[in-house]
């Protein structure tokens, strides 16, 4: 049913700020958005809903999460808090392999229940779209299990979920050569055949995949019509961000060790550069130079990298606050990074932005100032979340 939301104190589209706004929605998309008094006659006869002089923001888009996982890494968190590094924990057989074992053991139903509860927390925090990766299954059957969990979340929850196949690490019981062979000749074609992922991501770093291995996986993904993205320049500089830019990829994520050369390649190709502030801060890495990246023409996005090890972060607003405080972005830029740019990192130009034709996904803020959730740390003044113009209850 068409509907006009009226009495909006202010809205960030996010490229533009409009005060005293009205928003017309039809067929789950934005029909019109502008200053209330300018509402065209056409829409004045539509049913109206008074927003109560509250502010509105676009629904947030978290373009990088590992939301499907089982087990607990609380003990590792304690060790890291005492000074152990991620690399030390990984090389002593801990870290990601703990999650792999627990995720392999868990059934599809168990993983679904765990991920569903996490997705609800994100919904309450204003996140209407999430990218979800596989990557803790490692073996083909468990990678497929994770992707089937994501498909089930997509079918049963109101949020929008975008699935990605992740080449995370080489399992201990495989040789590099044979795992790469299996991943490229069996797993990618099967995932494509079943329609279980839109993109393939590679963790290209120390302890994971090399640049040459990453390139090979990307070539296979592209041959199968899947998009590509990469975990790049996090622990060591690998050149993966330049590679993904040159191969027309969606995004290079992390970027703690990235350089001007990398930013210029990303800017030239339009590949999004995604900061993951949770992992940067928890692993005590240098914060990506977001101000310089933005000024070099990179489309900078911000995401949570939610995962049980290096970023148990459930809040996009906190990720954006860190990008402001430590990355030098303005509040307006951080908002763009967490909505429009992060949607572009998923090739979803009709999400993360409120403009005619875009999906009517938005957050109603409890207050007249749209920046309140970026101002208050650990405080989420969210009155309601709408997806496709429908009010969504986080308790469902």
Footprint on this chain of Zn ion (rule: CB under 5 A): 305
CB atoms within 10 A of CB 194: 12
| Nearer Cβ to Zn ion (213/305) | 305
How far is the C-alpha of 389 from the C-alpha of 337, rounded, in Å? 22
CB-based closest residue to Zn ion: 305
The SS3 call for residue 88 is helix
392, 158 contact by CB (below 8 A): yes
The least distance separating Zn ion from the CB of residue 239, rounded to whole angstroms, comes to 18
Pairing outcome for strands 251-254 and 390-392: unpaired
Pairing outcome for strands 160-167 and 60-62: unpaired
The least distance separating Zn ion from the CB of residue 62, rounded to whole angstroms, comes to 11
| Nearer Cβ to Zn ion (256/305) | 305
The least distance separating Zn ion from the CB of residue 178, rounded to whole angstroms, comes to 25
| Prior bond of 14 cis (ω within 30°) | yes
| Nearer Cβ to Zn ion (142/229) | 229
- Residue 262 CB contacts under 8 Å (≥ 6 apart), including other chains: 232, 233, 239, 241, 242, 245, 252, 255
DSSP H/E element including 49: strand 48-58
The least distance separating Zn ion from the CB of residue 336, rounded to whole angstroms, comes to 21
| Nearer Cβ to Zn ion (184/310) | 310
| Nearer Cβ to Zn ion (143/305) | 305
235, 310 contact by CB (below 8 A): no
| Nearer Cβ to Zn ion (60/252) | 252
The least distance separating Zn ion from the CB of residue 1, rounded to whole angstroms, comes to 40
The least distance separating Zn ion from the CB of residue 2, rounded to whole angstroms, comes to 40
């Amino acid at each position: 049913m068409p509907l006009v939301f009226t009495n909006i104190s202010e809205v960030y589209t996010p490229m533009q700020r409009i005060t005293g706004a009205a928003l017309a929605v039809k067929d789950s998309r934005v029909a019109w958005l502008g200053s209330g008094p300018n509402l065209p006659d056409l829409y004045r006869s539509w049913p109206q809903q008074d927003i109560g002089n509250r502010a509105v923001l676009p629904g947030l888009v978290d373009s990088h999460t590992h939301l499907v996982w089982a087990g607990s890494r609380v003990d590792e968190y304690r060790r890291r808090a005492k000074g152990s590094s991620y690399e030390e924990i990984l090389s002593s057989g801990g870290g990601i392999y703990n999650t792999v074992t627990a995720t392999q053991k868990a059934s599809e139903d168990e993983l679904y229940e765990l991920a569903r509860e996490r997705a609800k927390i994100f919904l309450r925090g204003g996140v209407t779209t999430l990218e979800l990766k596989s990557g803790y299954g490692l073996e083909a059957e468990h990678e497929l299990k994770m992707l089937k969990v994501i498909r089930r979340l997509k079918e049963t929850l109101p949020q929008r979920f975008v699935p990605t196949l992740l080449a995370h690490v080489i399992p201990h019981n495989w040789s590099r050569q044979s795992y790469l062979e299996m991943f490229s000749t069996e797993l990618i074609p099967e995932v494509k055949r079943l329609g279980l992922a839109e993109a393939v991501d590679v963790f290209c770093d120390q302890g994971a995949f090399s640049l040459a291995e990453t390139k090979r996986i990307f070539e296979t993904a592209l041959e199968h019509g899947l998009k590509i993205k990469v975990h790049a320049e996090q622990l060591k500089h690998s050149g993966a961000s330049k590679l993904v830019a040159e191969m027309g990829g969606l995004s290079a994520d992390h970027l703690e060790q990235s350089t001007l050369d990398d930013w210029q390649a990303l800017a030239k190709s339009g590949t999004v550069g995604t900061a993951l502030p949770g992992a940067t801060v928890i692993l005590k890495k240098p914060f990506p130079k977001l101000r310089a990246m933005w000024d070099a023409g990179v489309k900078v996005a911000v995401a949570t990298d939610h995962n049980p090890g290096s970023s148990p972060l459930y809040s996009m607003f906190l990720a954006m606050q860190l990008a402001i405080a430590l990355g030098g972005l303005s509040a307006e830029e951080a908002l763009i990074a967490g909505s429009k740019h992060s949607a572009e990192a998923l090739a979803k130009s009709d999400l993360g932005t409120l403009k005619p034709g875009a999906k009517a996904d938005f957050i109603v803020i409890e207050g007249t100032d749209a920046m309140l959730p970026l101002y208050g740390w650990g405080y989420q003044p969210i009155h309601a979340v709408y997806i496709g113009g429908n009010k969504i209850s986080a308790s469902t």
